[in-house]
Structure 1
Amino acid sequence: MAVMSVRPHLQITQIVSQNPRIHTKATFHYNPLTRFVSLRSSMSVGGVKGRGGCSVIRSSLIDPDGGALVDLVVPERERAARRAEAEGMPKVRLGKIDLEWVHVVSEGWANPLRGFMREDQYLQSLHFNSFRLDDGSFVNMSLPIVLAIDDEAKEAIGTSPDVALVGPDGDLVAILRSVEIYKHNKEERIARTWGTTAPGLPYVDEVIAPAGNWLIGGDLEVLEPIKYNDGLDHYRLSPRQLRKEFDKRQADAVFAFQLRNPVHNGHALLMNDTRRRLLELGYKNPILLLHPLGGFVKADDVPLDVRMEQHSKVLEDGVLDPETTIVAIFPSPMHYAGPTEVQWHAKARINAGANFYIVGRDPAGMGHPTEKRDLYDPDHGKKVLSMAPGLEKLNILPFRVAAYDTVAKKMAFFDPSRAKDFLFISGTKMRSYARTGENPPDGFMCPGGWKVLVQYYESLQAEEADQQPAVLSV
């Protein structure tokens, strides 16, 4: 069997007749909420033969949004001249998260975006979650990627067509060409991105609330590849590098899994089961892209370096197969914007070459900042992905719910017929276990990975103790 994407409002026969790469007489089983089509036939898709007479799509055949991947880093031979030119331009200071967005855009994660959004792009993103391209097609773009400036910076720029972007450390990072400055309506941006203006949204508090009242858009020219020098840069593979690695491993399917938490055995069960399902569908070598988010996260999330160490232990302990798994860092900041943001997470993986995306319960969600409830409906993320404009070529794999089976004493897929036998351990509960030194049930997480978490929280508590003021007795 093979899998392809369809839109819920189109007839299946139309999809087949309009796609010259698919030739089949098929029986279709269609669920509009999962965007799966099962083909009971021998078929030709891109000419690559799969197991059992079926053909499959290689990852390299999944085109980036809008065509070729952008590469906005200035060639090395031209950098000295561009740097000298930038020295004479008006300067705009970037915050840490602004720099993360420069990184994201420069490598093509937001393809075909070539810089910070101009006003027409911003409005399309904010109101339609997509861009219309010159040929009339759409690409998904659910999050505004913008750069805010204040009144002083706007005045300093004046009528200059180009500005230099300066990093948090004062070093020249990039040039922004043919700039356009427009009003930053924060309330509208927040309301449309998060569906609420309630206080306590982490990205809003960190980035938007203190930002200036103007947005500046333009085309980016990045003077050097963005590096963080934190010992993790070798994990920060660009979409181009990932595509090369998928082809090097002869992947005929790539399924991406994003997380911002440590990997427990329930996650591993899901990822291993997904590979099994893809093999049953006729793929010969499905490759897992384990792709933790590496940009801004809220204060109580586990830091990136700890998560990466924990992930490496999961592979070392054989919970995931290193031969069929690629671990890389996705450099995007986190918004916690639920169904709006999960579209961005899926779209970016298309540009990296993934043709399958695993989506779970309440993706990119969080608890309501002022009320005791989820901010978003936990099922809306996967439903939105099945319908979102610009994501048609991505196959959505809904999360099967995993929990701790107290009878089998391991993580297993939830069986509602014996619900009382299952224990649900949330991310909050997992962190509580690690913080207090209490061990989770055997089989919840591999021992090496759990040790990393415990050591992290022990070091955190030691730091907090050191910062407590001394009490002097008189």
Structure 2
Amino acid sequence: MSQLIAPHGGRLVDLFVAAGEREALKHAAAQLPAWDLTPRQLCDLELLANGAFSPLEGFLGRADYESVCRDMRLADGTLWPMPVTLDVSREFADKLGDGAQVALRDPEGVILAILDVADRWEPDRQAEARDVFGTTDRLHAGVAYLVDRANPIYLGGRVRAIEAAPHYDFRHLRLSPREVRAHFDKLGWRRIVAFQTRNPMHRAHLELTFRAAQIAEANLLIHPSVGMTKPGDIDHYTRVRCYEKLIAHYPEQTTLLSLLHLAMRMGGPREALWHAIIRKNHGCSHFIVGRDHAGPGNGADGKPFYGPYDAQELVARHHDELGIAMVPFQEMVYVQERAQYAPADEIAPGETVLNISGTELRRRLHEGLDVPEWFTYPEVIDELRRTHPARHKQGFTVFFTGLSGAGKSTLANALLVRLLELGTRPVTLLDGDIVRKHLSSELGFSKEHRNLNVQRIGFVASEITKNGGIAICAPIAPYAQARREVREMVSQYGLFVETHIATPIDVCEQRDRKGLYALARAGKLKEFTGVSDPYEVPESPELRIDTSDIAPDEAVQRIVLKLESLGLIRPRD
């Protein structure tokens, strides 16, 4: 590990061991307990290793973690607003002794680094959510990940990086902090304003960034996050192609496009402060903080988690110690009379404001409607249409859930026939019993195995959806968390239509052709959903159907009408 004095941004921590040590360290690492890094951990390790997370020298230990959660500072007082932790399973942690070392591997088993474990503890993740995100509402993407997906035990300690995780996409745009600084030095740039985004950029973004660069009298770094963003966001492949189209509209030799492999937490004000520090580490002198920076949307109460300018206020309060200046910006809107964009607070009375929200843009793309050129460039829309066709041409998943005997399989088979009659896309039925036989035959009926079975169904459904097909899933899927995970998997590629077959248990028992309920009541069938194991009723499915007094044809027609209302199938198809 070394610390470099750079002309931009101060000290840059570099956690890679010297080239001459790597082979010996690889050999030693092969004998250590190994942890396979999750996608978020892969992102974090990369930015730890290359210095983007300077001054961190590894995953936070307990004292630093508690100080960051409580005060947005490391234990030594250094400003740092976001916990960067390594979460592992309890089973893995229990195998580690005091002073343990852990080999950190990518999904292919390649050892990327060694963690010298200094701390091991079980955090209060609800408390972490309240401190860091200001809420425990699972509609907040950061909270949902922390509470539902993160492992229960944290390991902290110094990291020794052996090699960087390989990237095979857009290599020419994946620049480390050291490489970005070198580019600035080569071109003689001394004042650079950075722009963070996780969305495609349109003309309003171009105007915003160009104005920010003028205000700061600086060159411009377009620095999109291409690691983990918010579930449902447009994939980074599409976004980067859009950025490459847009970058041609900036004046030549003024703007650099570089990709940041950041796992966003959608943490609003704290995240904005974090983003500013990261851009300082890349050598930037200024950072744009816009309206609702890194905002995760609305909570269960229908209100935004953060105020529109909370992020700007927090960054401004720490200006003196940040080492990077903020360029605050309001929303940019198109003024019809001027035929140009202007900040929302500069609109004169009587002027006509035109704006297209992200929701409206998605609607136009889904319905194949025109997008005006004042909003974005035709070549950008062409890229978006390539990977986001009209909704009636996209893949989707219908996910039935309900008690045994509720009617899931009957409706799934009837819906299969209806969709095959339409013939617009390939249709695949993933029935619970069929999946158990062919995909999960080795699994039992413990909660862990049930969740694993549902996750497998979700993975297959997501692949079908991604490739433009229709997946019909009909497991019991009794647990809310597993259903949420499947929704996240599928929603990356298309709509997820959760359909709760809400038939009461007494009706299900009357229909019990296999005699399963009787066996469960007699105690001969253990862990049976609805009798000796709980069924967690979906809170807000897209559709809820009680088949007690409704014929299958009528129930399926309700589903078809729902699919039509969502634009997934056309009434006259």
The answer to whether TM tops 0.5 is yes
Aligned partners of 2:129 and 2:146 also within 8 Å: no
Q: How far is 1:225 from its partner? A: 1.3
Q: Distance in 2 between matches of 1:392 and 1:299?
A: 30
Aligned to 1:385, the other structure's residue is in SS state helix
* Match in the other structure for 2:278: 348
Matched, 1:435 2:373: no
Aligned to 1:219, the other structure's residue is in SS state strand
Matched, 1:373 2:312: no
* Match in the other structure for 2:244: 312
Q: How far is 1:422 from its partner? A: 0.5
Change (3 A) 1:241 1:469: farther
Amino acid at match of 2:363: S
* Match in the other structure for 1:158: 97
Amino acid at match of 1:246: F
* Match in the other structure for 2:225: 293
Aligned to 2:12, the other structure's residue is in SS state coil
Amino acid at match of 2:316: S
Question: CA offsets, 1:57-101, max 9 Å, x none?
Answer: xx964433xxx3111123333222111101111222211111111
Q: How far is 1:178 from its partner? A: 4.0
Higher RCO structure (Cα 8 Å, ≥6 apart): 1
Identity of counterpart residues, as a percentage? 26
* Match in the other structure for 1:179: 118
Aligned partners of 1:338 and 1:363 also within 8 Å: yes
Unaligned stretches of 5+ in structure 2? 399-414, 422-552, 554-573
Amino acid at match of 1:342: A
Among residues 381, 389, 395, which one is paired with 1:458 in the alignment? 389
Q: Distance in 1 between matches of 2:175 and 2:312?
A: 26
Aligned partners of 1:411 and 1:443 also within 8 Å: no
Aligned partners of 2:200 and 2:243 also within 8 Å: yes
Q: More displaced, 456-465 or 397-406?
A: 456-465
Matched, 1:407 2:346: no
* Match in the other structure for 1:248: 186
Aligned partners of 1:356 and 1:394 also within 8 Å: yes
Q: How far is 1:442 from its partner? A: 2.7
Unaligned stretches of 5+ in structure 1? 1-58, 280-285
Aligned to 1:130, the other structure's residue is in SS state coil
Q: How far is 1:327 from its partner? A: 0.5
Q: Distance in 2 between matches of 1:216 and 1:466?
A: 37
Change (3 A) 1:350 1:205: same
Aligned partners of 1:362 and 1:381 also within 8 Å: yes
Amino acid at match of 1:426: S
Aligned partners of 2:265 and 2:271 also within 8 Å: yes
Q: How far is 1:242 from its partner? A: 0.6
TM-score w.r.t. length of structure 1: 0.79
Aligned partners of 1:90 and 1:160 also within 8 Å: no
Change (3 A) 1:172 1:393: closer
Question: CA-atom RMSD, angstroms?
Answer: 2.4
Aligned partners of 2:16 and 2:163 also within 8 Å: yes
Matched, 1:416 2:367: no
Q: Distance in 1 between matches of 2:341 and 2:417?
A: 45
Change (3 A) 1:408 1:438: farther
Aligned partners of 2:12 and 2:51 also within 8 Å: yes
Change (3 A) 1:208 1:329: farther
* Match in the other structure for 1:267: 205
Aligned to 1:209, the other structure's residue is in SS state helix
Corresponding residue pairs, total = 400
* Match in the other structure for 2:289: 359
Q: Distance in 1 between matches of 2:73 and 2:393?
A: 47
Aligned partners of 1:60 and 1:247 also within 8 Å: no
Q: More displaced, 148-157 or 75-84?
A: 75-84
After superposition, where does 1:119-198 map in structure 2 within 5 Å?
A: 119-131=62-74, 133=76, 138-198=77-137
Among residues 39, 45, 61, which one is paired with 1:96 in the alignment? 39
Q: Distance in 2 between matches of 1:61 and 1:110?
A: 17
Q: Distance in 2 between matches of 1:186 and 1:302?
A: 28
Q: Distance in 2 between matches of 1:85 and 1:419?
A: 72
After superposition, where does 1:68-107 map in structure 2 within 5 Å?
A: 68-107=11-50
TM-score w.r.t. length of structure 2: 0.66
Question: CA offsets, 1:402-436, max 9 Å, x none?
Answer: 11222334433333323650023222222222232
Q: Distance in 1 between matches of 2:184 and 2:55?
A: 21
Q: More displaced, 342-351 or 463-472?
A: 463-472
Amino acid at match of 1:432: R
Amino acid at match of 2:211: D
